[in-house]
Amino acid sequence: MEAYLKTKVNNLFRKLKVTILFVLIGCSNYAQTIEFSGQVTDSLNNPLEYANLLAVPIADQVAVQFGITDQNGAFKIKLEANQNYEVTISYLGYSPKVVELTTTDKTKLVRDFKLKDNPNVLDEVELHYTPPVTVKKDTIIYLTDKFVTGEERKLREVLKKLPGIEVDKAGNVTANGKKVTKVMVENKAFFNGGSKLAVNNIPADAVDKIEILENYSEIAMLKGLEDSDKTAMNISLKEDKKKFVFGEIEAGGGIKERYIVHPTLFYYSPETNVNFIGDVNNTGVKSFTFNDYMEFEGGVSKLLENSGGYSSLKNSDIAAFIDAQDYKANINQFGALNMRQSISESVDLSAYVIASNSKTETEVVTINDYLNNESPFIENRTETNHLKNQFVIGKLTLDYEPSFNEDFAYTSFVKLNSTDSNGLILTENPSQNNQIQTLDALDGLQLRQNLSYSRKLSKNHTGTLEANYTFSNDKPFTNWLTNQVFLQDILPLEDDDIYNIQQTVRLNSHNFNALAKDYWTLNSFNHLYTSVGINLAFSDFYSRDLQQLSTGEINSFTNAGFNNDFGYNLIDTYFGLEYKFMIGKTTIKPAAYYHFYFWETGQDSEHTTHNKGLLLPKFDMELDVNNSETIRFKYTLNADFPTIKNLATNYILSSFNSVFKGNDALQNELYHRLVLSYYKFSLFKGMHLNANLSYNIKEKSFKYVTQLDGIDQYNLLILFSQPEEELMFFGGASKKINKIRYSLDAQLGYSNFYQIVNEETNKNSSKNISATVGVETLFKDFPNLNVKYQKSANIYSALGDETTFENDNINVEIEYDFLDDFIFKTDYNYDLYRNNSADIKNRFDNLNASLFYQKEDQPWGFELSASNIFDTTFKQNNSFSSFLISDTKTFILPRIIMFKVIYKL
């Protein structure tokens, strides 16, 4: 049956290749069109940028067309030939002009228009005509009814039909080439402001307007003062949904006892909002991922501002359990409740609670190629795991804004997490063949309090104060069980039938941060900003590694240099000065921060203190070529101090084949970061371009010194002074021509770094390149096709050897709304993976499809869906570390066929 299905689908996609070719050549000609172009100016012949043109056909069956002028006042609109139109030209503050237009068979029609200045007609324009798209400098407003067909189910389908907006599979939104970092509904944050919960759950028929807000600032009075490249999206609801209960309930079942229950319920009123999202399934749909976790921790942009923030979060214990995306089995239970209450015109109270309970089974098969130049070897490793993960996240926020000149906010945040894991590791290598059972448990608590206050102190001075306090308490426990000795050169194991190794860890930390800042506006072109701040961190790290004998006795590893009782206190006081000035269209901001660091470390009763001062400069320059074209350059010198785990001076087990020892003599990393970026967007031309070039060079960095003995690793951390470099380039472009959007993305990366293995220091390099081309059709009455092809290559050079990996990936998505009430969707992914050095070649392909039916104006809907139709068993990828190359197979869920019933409130 599987072979038959694959043959049929392969034949289908051979035919599809031909179909795609005809679509690309001929779809722009499916109806005879002409180009209507010209220029819009004022009475003095000055071009009017962002003027709106709406062409309303007299015939009902012809589509409405609209256009927006560019910086030269020029416009282009595609109209159908031999039709009569009423064309309205409008611009805020000017009298609109209405003309009748008749098209012919000629391919081009040119007309220029002059508008007269008349701000008194603004109200009249709003009453009689509202353009589909309104552009006001850094704000774009879309009227969604002008773009949708009525068959859209969720917000994501609405967004994909708006010009300049893209939505990926995960629910990330890109507007005009910039990632949306905050989502609001009726000007209030939806849950934490991340896009995923909003785009995947808000019903399409509740949305009236979409506003894209560039250079967004949380506090209105700071706009133009603080530097912000954030982009926010505000969703305005239809009038009948602004005090209304709406949403839908989805339930379904499938073969092999698959099930899903997914309610989304919303209540909105001017004073009260209540949103509930639930999800119970065993189909592999993961409601909370690592990206979502990052958003709830402040977002990736905020984490990257603290150069060690992302790395610390990525390597945290809870992240390790929620980061997995592929598994053999999964049961997911998820609930999210968000509430907001307006207590008065100036006071808002909001809160959310998110709870998750998941059970997963994973299996990973890895070929590890150890690059030891004296005796290289291969290890075959299989890891299976049964995971249980529970967490609760809660947040309460009080916003007080008595006037535009004053803003106060208080936030209280709590996170509780509990994880249990039962795993099995099978390793085959020249040194040994071993089987290790692993038992892991983690209980964690985090409390965070945040207070921010902003006030207009005078005409030229604005002050802000922000203070944070965070308490965290993590208690991981790990148990290794095996019948063979491991890490025998360092673990003082006593003979036993079963070696039972246990590790208990306690990590407590208190962090307090406070920053006061004065924004001094000298004049419109010169600003001076002064900052004073303090960061306090007090941490305690306790670890115990031991062997429990079958007799019940305890074999402690203390005499072998294990077990920590370590304290680390860090005080960072700093003063910063920033000068921001404008020369023409260029904004320049040099800055310098002087930090004085004092820290104390102690193992058991021995304590040492250190201090140092660092001057960390910054430089930012931005050239606004026009409202939609920007060039930006940034330079920063960054300093990172080690975490308490990296300082603890006694050994601790990292895994069944790895031991780590910290170094309390570590001071700080120091690295330079330079970023050059270019951004251009034209709604008029349906085009966006963006490019980003970054260069990092480390003067001092934390470096592992590794002693290898077979697969066993003994790691010590040192401060390394040899420079290491990383160069990254990313570029993207998209262009809409008629009803087709073309896209091209390219990414290049190069890094060189040192490894210290078995007392030898070697310089390694990593190179990667990838390019993606895409074609997407945007029809209303025809099937829509989205095709992407990606070619990527990774080249690793280490110890004189070079290893090359290649990937070819094709993704095809088809969506077809037909017979008014049916929606058919399918997506096919083909991945060809090659490890050229090891002569390994694997193909991965996956096909999913669904058919949805819902009669217009009826609450009931029905869907039949199938995922992993080919019943593919695994995915494959590669990774590279300082001394080994890993080729990994990750096993995935089998074929799932589901039937769902949807009820819309």
Helix (H) or strand (E) holding 579: strand 564-583
- Determine the Cα–Cα distance for residues 336 and 755; give it in Å rounded to an integer: 45
- Determine the Cα–Cα distance for residues 506 and 444; give it in Å rounded to an integer: 10
Q: Which residue has the tokens 């969707």?
A: 825
Q: What is the pLDDT of residue 292?
A: 61
User: Token pair of 115, please?
Assistant: 């508008």
Q: Which whole number is the average pLDDT over 721-737? A: 91
In terms of pLDDT, which residue wins out, 226 or 822? 822
8 A C-beta contact, residue 702 and residue 712: no
In terms of pLDDT, which residue wins out, 187 or 177? 187
- Determine the Cα–Cα distance for residues 152 and 206; give it in Å rounded to an integer: 11
b/e 565-588 (16+ beta carbons within 10 angstroms → b): bbbbbbebebebebebebeeeebe
Indicate if the pLDDT at residue 26 is higher than 50: no
Q: What is the pLDDT of residue 316?
A: 52
User: Token pair of 197, please?
Assistant: 């919960």
Q: What is the pLDDT of residue 20?
A: 47
Q: What is the pLDDT of residue 2?
A: 45
Q: Kindly tell me the burial class for residue 766, based on how many C-beta atoms sit within 10 Å of its own C-beta (0-12, 13-18, 19 or more).
A: middle
b/e 427-453 (16+ beta carbons within 10 angstroms → b): bebeeeebebebebebbbebebebbbb
Question: If pLDDT is split at 50, 70 and 90, which confidence band does 625 have?
Answer: confident
Q: Which whole number is the average pLDDT over 793-815? A: 87
Which residues face 423 on adjacent strands? 385, 438
Q: Strand, helix or coil at 287?
A: coil
- Determine the Cα–Cα distance for residues 708 and 705; give it in Å rounded to an integer: 10
b/e 855-888 (16+ beta carbons within 10 angstroms → b): eeeeeebebebbbbbeebebbbebebebbbbbbb
Indicate if the pLDDT at residue 126 is higher than 50: no
Indicate if the pLDDT at residue 129 is higher than 70: no
Q: Which whole number is the average pLDDT over 158-172? A: 81
- Determine the Cα–Cα distance for residues 284 and 889; give it in Å rounded to an integer: 18
Q: What is the DSSP letter of 226?
A: B
Indicate if the pLDDT at residue 472 is higher than 60: yes
Indicate if the pLDDT at residue 563 is higher than 90: yes
- Determine the Cα–Cα distance for residues 145 and 134; give it in Å rounded to an integer: 14
Q: Strand, helix or coil at 171?
A: coil
- Determine the Cα–Cα distance for residues 740 and 779; give it in Å rounded to an integer: 8
Helix, strand, coil percent values for the chain (each to nearest 5): 10, 65, 25
Give the sign of the dihedral formed by CA 90, CA 184, CA 137, CA 179. negative
- Determine the Cα–Cα distance for residues 134 and 137; give it in Å rounded to an integer: 10
* Concatenated DSSP letters of 623-646: EEEETTEEEEEEEEEEEEPPPHHH
In terms of pLDDT, which residue wins out, 621 or 62? 621
- Determine the Cα–Cα distance for residues 224 and 257; give it in Å rounded to an integer: 56
- Determine the Cα–Cα distance for residues 116 and 41; give it in Å rounded to an integer: 9
Phi, psi of 828 (to 5 degrees): -125, 135
Lowest mean pLDDT among 43-52, 295-304, 586-595: 295-304
What is the residue type of 526?
N
Q: What is the pLDDT of residue 287?
A: 64
In terms of pLDDT, which residue wins out, 139 or 512? 512
Lowest mean pLDDT among 76-80, 253-257, 311-315, 593-597: 311-315
Q: What is the pLDDT of residue 763?
A: 87
Q: What is the pLDDT of residue 460?
A: 92
- Determine the Cα–Cα distance for residues 291 and 286; give it in Å rounded to an integer: 12
For residue 296, give the nearest of 167, 500, 493, 446 by alpha carbon. Answer: 446
Indicate if the pLDDT at residue 15 is higher than 50: no
What is the residue type of 683?
L
Rg of the chain on CA atoms, in Å: 30
Q: What is the pLDDT of residue 325?
A: 64
- Determine the Cα–Cα distance for residues 287 and 171; give it in Å rounded to an integer: 11
Q: What is the pLDDT of residue 659?
A: 96
Q: What percent of the chain has pLDDT over 90?
A: 47
Indicate if the pLDDT at residue 323 is higher than 60: no
Q: Which whole number is the average pLDDT over 655-670? A: 93
71-89 pLDDT, tens digit each: 888 988 888 888 888 888 8
Indicate if the pLDDT at residue 611 is higher than 70: yes
- Determine the Cα–Cα distance for residues 295 and 301; give it in Å rounded to an integer: 9
For residue 75, give the nearest of 98, 101, 48 by alpha carbon. Answer: 48
8 A C-beta contact, residue 487 and residue 659: yes
For residue 828, give the nearest of 843, 848, 808, 852 by alpha carbon. Answer: 848
Q: What is the pLDDT of residue 303?
A: 44
Indicate if the pLDDT at residue 113 is higher than 70: yes
How far CA 206 is from CA of 141, 240, 350, 377, 711, in Å, comes to 16, 8, 22, 60, 58
Indicate if the pLDDT at residue 317 is higher than 90: no
Q: What is the pLDDT of residue 730?
A: 94
Q: Kindly tell me the burial class for residue 601, based on how many C-beta atoms sit within 10 Å of its own C-beta (0-12, 13-18, 19 or more).
A: buried
Indicate if the pLDDT at residue 244 is higher than 80: no
Q: Which whole number is the average pLDDT over 573-591? A: 94
For residue 614, give the nearest of 510, 520, 721, 700 by alpha carbon. Answer: 700
8 A C-beta contact, residue 901 and residue 258: no
CB contact set of 156 (below 8 Å; sequence gap of 6+): 167, 171, 199, 200
Angle of CA points 99, 103, 106, to nearest 5°: 135
How far CA 99 is from CA of 35, 69, 335, 904, in Å, comes to 17, 17, 54, 43
- Determine the Cα–Cα distance for residues 339 and 354; give it in Å rounded to an integer: 12
Q: What is the pLDDT of residue 383?
A: 95
Give the sign of the dihedral formed by CA 365, CA 370, CA 371, CA 376. negative
Q: What is the pLDDT of residue 289?
A: 60
Q: What's the whole-number average pLDDT of the chain?
A: 85
Q: Which whole number is the average pLDDT over 274-285? A: 89
Q: What is the pLDDT of residue 294?
A: 57
Q: What is the pLDDT of residue 762?
A: 85
How far CA 459 is from CA of 519, 521, 524, 526, 583, in Å, comes to 11, 8, 12, 14, 23
8 A C-beta contact, residue 198 and residue 183: yes
Q: What is the pLDDT of residue 673?
A: 95
Lowest mean pLDDT among 125-129, 254-258, 830-834: 125-129
8 A C-beta contact, residue 447 and residue 454: no
Phi, psi of 657 (to 5 degrees): -125, 20
E strand map for 186-343: 188-189, 207-214, 231-237, 244-254, 258-268, 272-281, 329-342
Q: Which whole number is the average pLDDT over 365-391? A: 87
Question: If pLDDT is split at 50, 70 and 90, which confidence band does 491 have?
Answer: very high
Q: What is the pLDDT of residue 123?
A: 44
Lowest mean pLDDT among 3-7, 212-216, 717-721, 821-825: 3-7
For residue 360, give the nearest of 419, 430, 298 by alpha carbon. Answer: 419
Lowest mean pLDDT among 251-260, 358-367, 446-455, 817-826: 817-826
Q: What is the pLDDT of residue 425?
A: 95
8 A C-beta contact, residue 537 and residue 600: no
Q: What percent of the chain has pLDDT over 70?
A: 89
What is the residue type of 592?
A
Q: Which whole number is the average pLDDT over 764-791? A: 90
